[in-house]
C-alpha cells in the first residue's frame, strides 16, 4: 500500500518468515500442529487441576494461570499467522495490530511474573516446609496471581503507548509475522530513542527483576538441598524444581535476547520470536505433564473413570 509522508498508515503488511510458497506450506503444517497441541495440552492441564482434588495446591494453581496465559498468548498470534501463510496479501489494520501488540504483552509479561511466583512457591516448600501452609495460603496465592496479571497490564499499557504514539507515515511493511514492538519501531517516522528507553526500562521491571528473584530463590533451594542427608530427599527436591527451571530457561532466554540485548539481524529476531511465541506455549504443558507424577496420575484417574463409566452404561 502506497503512503504519503503526510498520512498515517491505516494498515501494515506482515512480511512473514519466508516468501517461498513451499516453505510457507511447510510452516503452515508445523504451526497448525503445534497450535493444536498447545490448545489441547493447556486445556487438558487446566481441566485435570480442576477435577482432581490432589492437585488443588498452590503450585498447580499457579500452573493453571500459566497455562491460561500460554493459551491466550498463542491464540493471539498463531491463528493470524496461519491465515497469512496461505494468503497473498498479508495485511493487518492499524487497530488490529495495536490490539495484538497489547494482548501479546499482557500474556507474555504475565508469564514472566508467574514464573517468579512459582519459584517463590518452590523456595518456601523446600526451604521452609514446616511453615509452608501458613505462608502459601490461598489468599497469598490469589494476591500473587492477581499481581502478575495487573503488573503485566501496566507494562503492556506503557509499552504499547510508547510504541503507537509515534507517527508511522513511511513504509508499512513489517519484517515479522506478528506485531511486536521492536519490529514496529523500525518503521516509525521519527526518532525512537525515548520509546526504546521506555520499553527497555519496562523490560528491566518485567524481565530482569523476576529472573533475579528466581535466581535468588534457586540459590537458596540449591544450598538447602545440598544440606539434605537423604539422597532420596535431594532427588525429590530437585525433581519438583526441574520442570519449572526448564520453562524459565526456555522462556526468559528467548525474551531477554529480544528485548534486553543489542539489535540483531531481522532473521535472528524472527527465529527467536517463533521460539517463544509458538514453541514455548506447547512445551510448558508437555514438560509439566511428562515430568510430573501427580499430573500423570490425575490423567490416568480421569481416563479410568471415563472408561468404567462407559462400561457401566453398556451393561
**4 is a domain residue:** no
**315 is a domain residue:** no
**6 is a domain residue:** no
Euclidean distance between CA atoms 269 and 276, whole angstroms: 11
What CATH number is attached to the domain comprising 234? 1.20.1070.10
Helix (H) or strand (E) holding 151: helix 138-164
| Domain count along the chain | 1
| C-alpha pair distances (Å), 263 with each of 100, 249, 257, 260 | 22, 21, 9, 9
Q: What DSSP state is assigned to residue 186?
A: T
Residue-level pLDDT at 87: 87
Decide: residue 189, CB within 10 A, 0-12 exposed, 13-18 middle, 19+ buried: middle
Residue-level pLDDT at 310: 61
Q: Which residues lie across from 13 on neighbouring strands?
A: 91, 173
Reduce the DSSP state of residue 308 to 3 states and report it: helix
**313 is a domain residue:** no
Residue-level pLDDT at 93: 93
**143 is a domain residue:** yes
> Does pTM top 0.75 for this prediction?
yes
Domain with 176 in it? 11-299
Tens-level pLDDT at each residue, the chain (315 residues): 444 455 788 899 998 888 888 889 999 999 999 999 999 989 988 888 888 888 888 988 998 999 999 999 999 999 999 999 988 888 999 999 999 999 999 999 999 999 999 999 989 988 998 999 999 999 999 999 999 999 999 999 999 999 999 999 888 899 889 999 988 999 998 999 999 999 999 988 898 899 899 989 988 988 888 888 777 777 777 776 777 777 788 777 777 777 776 665 667 777 788 888 888 888 877 777 656 666 767 767 766 666 556 656 555
**309 is a domain residue:** no
Half-sphere CA count of 176, side-chain side, radius 13 A = 26
**121 is a domain residue:** yes
**166 is a domain residue:** yes
Amino acid at each position: 500500500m502506497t503512503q504519503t509522508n503526510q498520512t498515517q498508515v491505516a494498515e501494515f503488511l506482515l512480511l512473514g518468515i519466508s516468501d517461498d510458497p513451499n516453505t510457507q506450506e511447510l510452516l503452515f503444517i508445523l504451526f497448525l500442529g503445534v497450535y493444536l497441541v498447545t490448545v489441547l495440552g493447556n486445556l487438558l492441564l487446566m481441566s485435570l487441576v480442576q477435577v482432581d482434588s490432589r492437585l488443588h495446591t498452590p503450585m498447580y494453581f499457579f500452573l493453571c494461570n500459566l497455562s491460561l496465559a500460554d493459551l491466550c498468548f498463542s491464540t493471539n498470534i498463531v491463528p493470524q499467522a496461519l491465515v497469512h501463510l496461505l494468503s497473498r496479501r498479508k495485511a493487518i489494520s492499524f487497530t488490529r495490530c495495536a490490539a495484538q501488540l497489547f494482548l501479546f504483552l499482557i500474556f507474555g509479561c504475565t508469564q514472566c511474573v508467574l514464573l517468579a511466583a512459582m519459584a517463590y512457591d518452590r523456595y518456601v516448600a523446600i526451604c521452609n516446609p514446616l511453615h509452608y501452609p501458613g505462608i502459601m495460603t490461598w489468599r497469598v496465592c490469589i494476591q500473587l496471581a492477581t499481581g502478575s496479571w495487573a503488573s503485566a497490564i501496566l507494562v503492556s499499557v506503557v509499552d504499547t503507548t510508547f510504541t503507537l504514539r509515534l507517527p508511522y507515515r513511511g513504509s508499512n511493511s513489517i519484517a515479522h509475522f506478528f506485531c511486536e514492538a521492536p519490529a514496529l519501531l523500525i518503521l516509525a517516522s521519527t526518532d525512537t530513542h525515548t520509546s526504546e528507553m521506555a520499553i527497555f526500562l519496562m523490560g528491566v521491571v518485567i524481565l530482569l527483576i523476576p529472573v533475579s528473584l528466581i535466581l535468588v530463590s534457586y540459590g537458596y533451594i540449591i544450598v538447602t538441598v545440598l544440606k539434605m542427608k537423604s539422597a532420596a530427599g535431594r532427588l525429590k527436591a530437585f525433581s519438583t524444581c526441574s520442570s519449572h527451571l526448564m520453562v524459565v530457561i526456555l522462556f526468559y532466554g528467548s525474551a531477554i535476547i529480544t528485548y534486553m540485548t543489542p539489535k540483531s539481524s531481522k532473521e535472528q529476531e524472527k527465529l527467536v520470536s517463533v521460539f517463544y511465541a509458538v514453541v514455548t506455549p506447547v512445551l510448558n504443558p508437555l514438560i509439566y505433564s511428562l515430568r510430573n507424577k501427580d499430573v500423570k496420575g490425575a490423567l490416568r484417574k480421569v481416563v479410568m473413570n471415563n472408561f468404567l463409566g462407559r462400561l457401566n452404561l453398556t451393561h
